[in-house]
Amino acid sequence: MALLHSNLSPSTSPKILRDDAYQERPVDSCRFLLTMVGETGLCGSTAWSQGQGGYVTVTISSRQIHKTAVVGNAGEPEWNDTFQFTTKHSDNLIISVYASNVSGHDILLGLVEESLVNVDCTGNGDMSRKVFETQGNRSFALNFRFEHAMFGLFIAINEYEIQAIPNLRGCKTDAQSVMEILAHRFHVPSANFLFLADEQATRSAIISRFQKHLIENSNIQHGDAIVVFYAGHGSQTDAPSGWIVDNGKVETICPHDE
């Protein structure tokens, strides 16, 4: 059996080094990635065809947080522009589509207001919204995609190297089910997950992957959601010196090889 824990003593708290410009993220906020994919149905628009192309702006609480590049009006516009932002789940996004004019007087073609609550609850990461033109009776479809900034290490062990430890069933299935929910319902990219199963989940591998995938991962920013999932046998061992626990014992997980 093995105890997996950090080298920090109970009296040592990790410190975050930051400059004066650093701002703590509110507890109820989350980092999102938004991809402005494109639009369909704009080719027949008079304002669009007479302009020099178009672009999209994204606004939260009257503050513009992003503006895409201008794309030409030769066909249906495709931006495929991904950016990230941090805001509260209760906030709404206003996504506005403009036709670019050489005179500098750009024309608002239409806008859509999207609640971030829908992104969390409905599973509509890939979205298409009908937008009515401000300059006429036509409508077009605005296509965009949301992703959550979440990272995870998933450990599932059905089969153990030591014969004295009975094998299990269903651990890998449970881990895969949770990953599928996070990927399909909450739109977390699969590259953000690392899965160790059976003989891959040795003690050294678990510690190494935890360090590299979660602690040293440059894609993870302060406040991002971290998921550590374990399915397998558990045990107990004597608590390290200085730990305050009941009965002097702590819970442990059982790697494949111990």
Q: Please indicate whether residue 122 or residue 164 has the higher confidence score (pLDDT).
A: 164
Distance (Å, whole) CA 175 – CA 184: 14
Note whether 125 and 158 are same-domain residues: no
Note whether 81 and 104 are same-domain residues: yes
pLDDT tens for residues 150-203? 899 999 999 999 999 999 999 999 999 999 988 877 778 888 999 999 999 999
Backbone angles phi, psi at 37, to 5 degrees: -80, -60
pLDDT score recorded for residue 196: 97
pLDDT tens for residues 5-62? 333 333 333 333 333 333 444 445 677 778 888 888 877 777 777 778 889 999 998 8
Q: For residue 6, tell me if it sits in a domain.
A: no
Nearest to 209 by CA among 199, 222, 196: 196
Q: What is the pLDDT averaged over residues 139-143?
A: 88
Note whether 48 and 138 are same-domain residues: yes
Nearest to 243 by CA among 14, 12, 10: 10
Nearest to 39 by CA among 88, 3, 10, 81: 81
Q: For residue 11, tell me if it sits in a domain.
A: no
Mean pLDDT of the chain: 81
pLDDT score recorded for residue 45: 75
Note whether 139 and 168 are same-domain residues: no
Q: For residue 14, tell me if it sits in a domain.
A: no
pLDDT score recorded for residue 217: 93
Note whether 155 and 138 are same-domain residues: no
Under 8 Å between Cβ of 130 and 141: yes
Residue after which a domain boundary falls, among 126, 148, 170: 148
Is residue 121 scored above 50 in pLDDT? Answer: no
Note whether 111 and 206 are same-domain residues: no
Note whether 98 and 185 are same-domain residues: no
Under 8 Å between Cβ of 189 and 173: no
Domain range holding 217? 150-253
Q: For residue 92, tell me if it sits in a domain.
A: yes
Look at the chain and report how many structural domains it folds into.
2
Note whether 40 and 140 are same-domain residues: yes
Q: For residue 126, tell me if it sits in a domain.
A: yes
pLDDT score recorded for residue 195: 97
H/E element, 231: strand 225-231
Note whether 34 and 143 are same-domain residues: yes
For the chain, count helices (H), then strands (E): 4, 13
pLDDT score recorded for residue 232: 96
Q: For residue 124, tell me if it sits in a domain.
A: yes
pLDDT score recorded for residue 84: 84
Contacts of 62 (CB under 8 A, 6+ apart): none
pLDDT score recorded for residue 29: 66
Note whether 130 and 226 are same-domain residues: no
Burial label for 69, CB within 10 Å (0-12, 13-18, 19+), is exposed
Domain harbouring 119, CATH code: 2.60.40.150
Q: For residue 37, tell me if it sits in a domain.
A: yes
pLDDT score recorded for residue 231: 97
Q: What is the pLDDT averaged over residues 78-107?
A: 85
Residue after which a domain boundary falls, among 113, 148, 183: 148
Q: For residue 10, tell me if it sits in a domain.
A: no
Note whether 132 and 162 are same-domain residues: no
Distance (Å, whole) CA 4 – CA 160: 17
Note whether 184 and 202 are same-domain residues: yes
Is residue 125 scored above 70 in pLDDT? Answer: no
Under 8 Å between Cβ of 42 and 140: yes
Sign for the CA dihedral angle at 249, 254, 255, 256 comes to: positive
Decide: pTM greater than 0.95.
Answer: no
Residue after which a domain boundary falls, among 148, 170, 197: 148
Task: Band the pLDDT of 66: cuts 50, 70, 90.
Answer: very high
